[in-house]
Amino acid sequence: MSFFKKMKERLFKSSSKLDEGLEALVEEGGTAEPEAPAAPQPPAPARAEAPADTADASSGAPDEAPAPPPAPVSSPASAAAPAPESRPGFIARAFGTKPGEVKRVLDDAMLESLEEVLIQADMGVETSIKLSARLAEGHFGRRVGTREIKEALAREIAAILTPVARPLPIYAKRPQVVLVVGVNGSGKTTTIGKLASQLRGAGKSVVIAAGDTFRAAAVEQLQVWGSRAGVPVMTAPQGSDPASLAFDAMVRAEAEGADMLLIDTAGRLQNRQDLMEELAKIVRVIRKKDPQAPHNTVLVLDATTGQNALSQVEIFRKIADVSGLVMTKLDGTAKGGVLVALADRFGLPIHAIGVGESIDDLAPFDPDEFARALTGFGD
């Protein structure tokens, strides 16, 4: 399970920003919660005499005006006026008192900032608003800590993602045809290499068709992956019709009795109608041979992609009946939050995630893990 550990480690790394964002958010306007309802050190009159006494900061009263605030120190009223300059958590620690968790009332301003933190994870404006609204339910007006927010967020995100976390379904049908599509540079070829290796490891006989007959050296690239995975690769010369290659590959896979046929395609931007028409033709030709095929059409998405991923899914699904998603490059600084938006909007299964360049860097999609990594909860 080494790759799983690796993925986890990388996922956490990738999400550190969001994590920081959340913590900063709470600390910015929050105050430390005293352990006991009655604050131990600072009785109100003492504070009036020595307004600069730092001890009062730890009590959560931001008001340093000479008039002694009559309100009890831990009342919500005092928390409503936050004092960012008092950095309560830090001071409490410096004084050696046991620091209470930093908390802050969940108000409109905080919700808005929360939305922004989510937007920064590429979740999109719509989904971010939705998520923070859901968080507001049951939490609004209450004092919440970072941990609590993270946990609640992770729960909400996982709730959205759990229904779509399904591995690539394996059918009894032989050969099962898997068509891999996506925009340029999203990682289709690499994903096919990894997928072939995994399927082969699971005891399946696999054939790959190098359908990217457009890009220079794409076929050679796939051949290298094929030899790494120990899987035969069917090729056609550069510039030939990918649809006919797909057809030939199906004939051959059937003749050889292969379990799985993975068909690579050239990268294409979804707004290029000519290229999308070419893709539609590939699907049509495949269906001539087997009306059920392609049994799976996998759209490969780049984690660094922003809101354009929505448009990619929408159009590829329309043209090629995309049946599932794979997200690549999640080992970088990109958080892949757009997956949440995608799951929310389209509900397409997410089969796997790419977390590196070596052949076993394709991990199953674990919604809880992903959600927790995204929010930084649980570490």
Among 148, 156, 302, 366, binds other proteins (CB under 8 A): 302
Q: Which long-range contacts (CB under 8 A, 24 or more apart) does 224-229 make?
A: 224/193, 225/189, 225/190, 225/192, 225/193, 225/196, 225/359, 226/193, 226/196, 228/193, 228/197, 228/359, 229/193, 229/194, 229/196, 229/197, 229/200, 229/359
Say whether residue 278 binds other proteins (CB under 8 A): no
Pairing relation of β-strands 350-354 and 362-364?
antiparallel
Sheet of strand 102-105: strand arrangement: 31-32, 102-105, 143-145
Say whether residue 184 binds other proteins (CB under 8 A): yes
Listed ranges 93-101, 194-202, 306-314, 361-369: which one lies at the site for other proteins (CB under 8 A): 306-314
Task: Supply 225's token pair.
Answer: 């992956």
In three-state secondary structure terms, 112 is helix
Among 71, 81, 217, 251, binds other proteins (CB under 8 A): 217
Size of the site for other proteins (CB under 8 A): 48
Say whether residue 216 binds other proteins (CB under 8 A): yes
Among 37, 43, 76, 185, binds other proteins (CB under 8 A): 185
Give me the least distance between CB of 149 and other proteins, in Å please.
18
Give me the least distance between CB of 282 and other proteins, in Å please.
17
x/- contact string, 327-346, with other proteins (CB under 8 A)? --x-xxxxx-xx--------
Give me the least distance between CB of 221 and other proteins, in Å please.
4
Say whether residue 13 binds other proteins (CB under 8 A): yes
What distance in Å separates the CA atoms of residue 344 and residue 360, rounded to the nearest whole number?
Answer: 29
Task: Tell me how far CA of residue 66 lies from CA of 52, 84, 153, in angstroms.
Answer: 10, 19, 40
Nearer residue to other proteins within complex by CB, 162 or 184: 184
Contact 121, 374 (CB under 8 A): yes
Site residues (CB under 8 A) for other proteins? Answer: 13, 17, 116, 119-122, 124-125, 183-187, 214-218, 220-221, 223-225, 238, 269-272, 302-311, 329, 331-335, 337-338, 357
